[in-house]
Structure 1
Amino acid sequence: MRRWIIVAAAAAIALGGCGSGAQSGGAGRSGGHATLLTTLQPPTFDPASIASVGAVEGPLGYAVYDNLFRVDYAAGTVIPRLAESITPDEAATVWTIKLRPGVTFSDGTPLDAGAVKFNWDRIKDNPQLGSGCSTTIEDFKAIDVKGPLELRITLPEPRGSLPQQLFGSGQVRSGTCTNIASPAALKKHGKSYGTSPQTTVGAGPFVLKELVPGSHLTLERNPRYWDAPRPYLDKLTVRQAPDITTSVNAVMSGAAHVASVMAFTPDITRYKQAGFRYHLQPMNGAAMVIFNASRPPLDDPRVRRALTLATDLDDLTKKNFAETVSPSDGWLTRSSLFYDAGRAAQLRQPTNDLAEAQRLIDSYVAEKGGPVTVTVPAAPTAIPTFTTLQQQWRRLKNVQVNIETVTGQVATQRLLANQAQVALNQSGANDPEAMVASFGTGGPQNYLKWSDPQLDAILAKARPETDPARQKAHMVQAAERLVQLNWFIMLYRPGAPTLVAKDLTNVKLHDPSQVDLAQLRFR
């Protein structure tokens, strides 16, 4: 049987797209000290907790730990890192991981199969760690060390997408299954592991040298790193930026060299117009307005569909994002392994149909009374987008839209606590495991408790599938069902733009939209 995903034999880096549609060149010099701004400073470098996948803290977790492997979602391949391969048996119930020989942690101890098992057993035996990896490895029937560099995983049922599940863990803050720390350090430091440079030991391109909570952290080149001559920089100072405006100004002025931001705003337009480039990996999924389908009036599919149909994406993106984004044309990108040109029309969410939107609202009001009232908790950076949506939705009779200004922290808290009627979010679900996590009943990333038996049944068929054609058919069917449910409005492709100063080069992205700090060079 043809496998959907097999690890390549040689190490490789997945290259991401830039805002201008090109990659930075590989030229440049080694050495130097760069400053990175991020939206979040990780509270700990514990491998069970810190993300090493994704554009927020992912670059920092990756810098310290690297990954066992990475997934290139567009190509449908696994990129070997600390592991050389991960392959299934014929039934896809037993998977074998073979590790790269000669890899050591920064303390000089070996990264072997026993170290991987120790990290996973630690997560499984200590639920208080709250690791995103726990739901994955709790499902394993067995984890067996078959040799110094060979680990065998036995599953209770076929799982065609186990590599993606290990890589993404179904979480926004992901990579926690593919982070491996030194067992010697974990045993020595116990609960204090990851809280200071002295208690943090990985096998990544950098070593944590300074950690000042609430202020900054410092990373220095790891002389033991297996993938020499990377990293090219000698040192990185990482600071937290309070907002996108600060990040843009810092990179443009030379006060910072790299900045990761979480949204497109007029500041990004200003940055681009000044001749700077942002870097982004186009992803399946969408930046989107999400509806709480468990709370009236959005528990009625007529209201959700009406608000979707009353949305004018061209007007929204023109007013709020200028030339930085294009309206969404469906869940799957044209470069995706799962893209089906013959189903493109069914996968494109209908919008900008006021007549049909009004008919649905009239039907709802006639049955349940009106007006339809929606309250939106909006952080300051989201107010322009929600103001435009408010104007568009108010074109409908018997629809009232109120905007409540809150802090970004409060907006996030309400989303995670299932308290917001409407919110902004991003989802880049690229495989069955991520779909289950984001949209399956009880999924760990399904913050608004969406539930649809038909979608659950589709995903249940997709998860064990190893044949590429059949898995593609299930994924297309799932994406089509999401369009029908109107749980959200797809605005534009998701992703976190990475801003880079003009004196840095060799900017390369991991999928999804994560800048590889080990590749950066000064010109």
Structure 2
Amino acid sequence: MRAWLVGVALLVAAGSLLSAQAAPAPVTITLGVDQEVVGLDPHIVTAFSSFRRLDLLYNKLVRYNDQLRIEPDLAESWETPDSRTYVFRLRRGVRFHSGAELTSEDVRFSLERVLDPATRSPGRSYIDAIESVETPDRYTVRIRLRHPLASLLSGLASGNLAIVEKAAVQQHGNLQRTVAGTGPFMLAEWVPDNFMRLVRNPRYFRRGLPRVDQVVFRVIPDQASLLAGVRSGALDMATINQGSVVVQAKREPGVVVLQKPGINLRIFSFNTTRPPFQNPVVRYALSFAIDREAIVQAAELGFAEVSGPIPASVRAYALPANRLPSYRRDTARARRLLAEGGYPNGFSTRIVTSPTYEGGIAVAQVIQAQLREVGVVATLEQVEWGTYIDRWVKRDFDTMVELRGGDPDPDRFLYRTFHSAGAVNNFLFKDEAVDRLLERGRVNLDPERRKPIYEELQVLLVERAPALFLYTPFETQVLRPGLRGFRVVGNGSLYYLEEAQK
């Protein structure tokens, strides 16, 4: 009897072992990034690091494809009966990660939440022309505008306009530590400053996607270590921005470098309420004091393009650098303007920066040296990433090196950033002439009539200088050769990971 029991036990154990061996390991893409997220609520966040996770957790009504053209996302189609009305037809059967079906009520709730001043959403400026959001049925959303808005679809493609589950927001209050989306992956595990594990959404509405079981984000602050991770196979992919590391990656035989011109914009910004930056003459003087091409070479090793207020890669609207005033360095003129502004001997200031790529430490060091040549002594305030974001939000800086999210439509980027009522006008900049041009540009639906408006505006912004516009960096991803199907988007979005496979 005892022998029989032992035999049964051995058979059970063997069966368990065979079962364990038969279960395939999950197919995982491990992605290295240099920054942790700063919250996960799509209607609140501003950091690129947060948006890159949200790309995989949420969807919008529409999105930009890898050619930066608008395409359907949650909306399968739309029509414009007149210049102030948009009607969106939603995909049927889309499920939130909770299992609940997405309906027009969730869309209405999401848009109205962004529009609510209490939410303090940076996306509010994208859609503040909305007068009402109507839901004729479960799968139709009608948006009525107070005036025409040329950039409405562009605004709706923003990560800040992701559609969230109404019931989840009502339960949690905000979504900074939880997820209520429809995206291709679901949040499974998060250890801050270490890793985040996302698992495949089995109900995802794009048939056959995603193609892998999980995506793991690993936070590795050092960019050289990111490349080492791809080289060794510990990482399948890494977002690498540091020019010297990109150069090294291009020389590596065992990695693939995907790169294209980006639409984000590096700027050196001023708090225009603090002395001496209340004076536009002083701000403009510093534009003559810097050498933008030298900054590109030193900070990016050439993997960027000098740019004005509209990202240089947006060829339809961006003025080339040779048509922008103060883009040829002239330290003598900088000194004359400083004297005219009341600072013949220069002045001292502080530059807030963070030791990460987005925080712009390399750019700040070059600017610091260039300003010293015209008598401006700049002290670098290096702060950790969370503190950097907090000070940006609170407008607690004299000057700051930033990386701003650009857009193919000039209104979506410029209005929210430089209009006196703009949601992310962290410069506290107010200029009636700038406001008038911004307001004219956004209501004009004819591209040929919009273009001269934005040409005039670009020159004016360079002269009034709420910020010094520096360059647009390239978007770069470094991959293992076995990772296939991923495409780079000029705005940095990672949602094509849903199509990637190993």
Instruction: State the TM-score, normalized to the length of structure 1.
Output: 0.79
- 1:125-144 equivalences under 5 Å are 130-133=120-123, 140-144=130-134
Contact 1:67 1:180 in 2 (8 A): no
Contact 2:338 2:344 in 1 (8 A): no
Give 1:110's match in structure 2, choosing from 93, 101, 104. 101
Higher-Rg structure is 2
Q: How many percent identity over aligned positions?
A: 24
Are 2:146 and 1:156 aligned?
yes
| SS in structure 2 at match of 1:255 | coil
Match of 1:100 in 2: 91
Tell me the amino acid that sits aligned with residue 252 of structure 2.
A
Match of 1:32 in 2: 27
Task: Give the distance between the partners of 1:61 and 1:375, measured in 2 at CA.
Answer: 33
Contact 1:207 1:219 in 2 (8 A): yes
Contact 1:87 1:97 in 2 (8 A): yes
Give 1:165's match in structure 2, choosing from 155, 159, 165. 155
Tell me the amino acid that sits aligned with residue 165 of structure 1.
G
In structure 2, the CA distance between the partners of 1:349 and 1:179, relative to structure 1 (3 Å rule), is farther
> Which runs of 5 or more residues in structure 2 are unaligned?
1-24
- 1:290-329 equivalences under 5 Å are 290-328=269-307
Give 1:449's match in structure 2, choosing from 407, 428, 437. 428
Task: Give the distance between the partners of 1:446 and 1:192, measured in 2 at CA.
Answer: 23
In structure 2, the CA distance between the partners of 1:35 and 1:349, relative to structure 1 (3 Å rule), is farther
Contact 1:374 1:402 in 2 (8 A): yes
Task: Give the distance between the partners of 1:505 and 1:86, measured in 2 at CA.
Answer: 32
1:437 to partner: Cα distance = 0.7
Are 2:43 and 1:68 aligned?
no
> Which runs of 5 or more residues in structure 1 are unaligned?
1-29, 169-174
Task: Give the distance between the partners of 1:43 and 1:422, measured in 2 at CA.
Answer: 22
Are 2:499 and 1:519 aligned?
yes
Are 2:436 and 1:461 aligned?
no
Match of 2:51 in 1: 58
Match of 1:361 in 2: 338
1:11-50 per-position Cα deviation (integer Å, ceiling 9, x unaligned)? xxxxxxxxxxxxxxxxxxx972111233454465555446
Tell me the amino acid that sits aligned with residue 176 of structure 1.
N
Are 2:381 and 1:391 aligned?
no
Tell me the amino acid that sits aligned with residue 37 of structure 1.
G
1:153-190 per-position Cα deviation (integer Å, ceiling 9, x unaligned)? 1222332322223333xxxxxx2323233x56556x44
RMSD of aligned alpha carbons: 3.3
Match of 1:178 in 2: 162
Task: Give the distance between the partners of 2:327 and 2:27, measured in 1 at CA.
Answer: 50
Tell me the amino acid that sits aligned with residue 372 of structure 1.
F
Task: Give the distance between the partners of 2:186 and 2:333, measured in 1 at CA.
Answer: 58
1:393 to partner: Cα distance = 2.3
The worse-fitting range, judged by mean Cα deviation, of 64-73 and 223-232 is 64-73
Contact 1:379 1:411 in 2 (8 A): yes
Task: Give the distance between the partners of 1:395 and 1:72, measured in 2 at CA.
Answer: 44
Tell me the amino acid that sits aligned with residue 417 of structure 1.
K
| SS in structure 1 at match of 2:390 | helix
Tell me the amino acid that sits aligned with residue 160 of structure 2.
T
Are 2:189 and 1:210 aligned?
yes
Larger relative contact order, structure 1 or 2 (CA cutoff 8 Å, min sep 6): 1
Match of 2:329 in 1: 352
Are 2:254 and 1:270 aligned?
no
Task: Give the distance between the partners of 1:308 and 1:441, measured in 2 at CA.
Answer: 22
Task: Give the distance between the partners of 2:446 and 2:114, measured in 1 at CA.
Answer: 31
Contact 1:297 1:373 in 2 (8 A): no
In structure 2, the CA distance between the partners of 1:232 and 1:145, relative to structure 1 (3 Å rule), is same
Task: Give the distance between the partners of 1:344 and 1:87, measured in 2 at CA.
Answer: 38
Task: Give the distance between the partners of 2:372 and 2:154, measured in 1 at CA.
Answer: 42
- 1:324-339 equivalences under 5 Å are 324-328=303-307, 331-333=310-312, 335-339=314-318
Contact 1:113 1:151 in 2 (8 A): yes
Tell me the amino acid that sits aligned with residue 352 of structure 2.
P
In structure 2, the CA distance between the partners of 1:468 and 1:55, relative to structure 1 (3 Å rule), is same
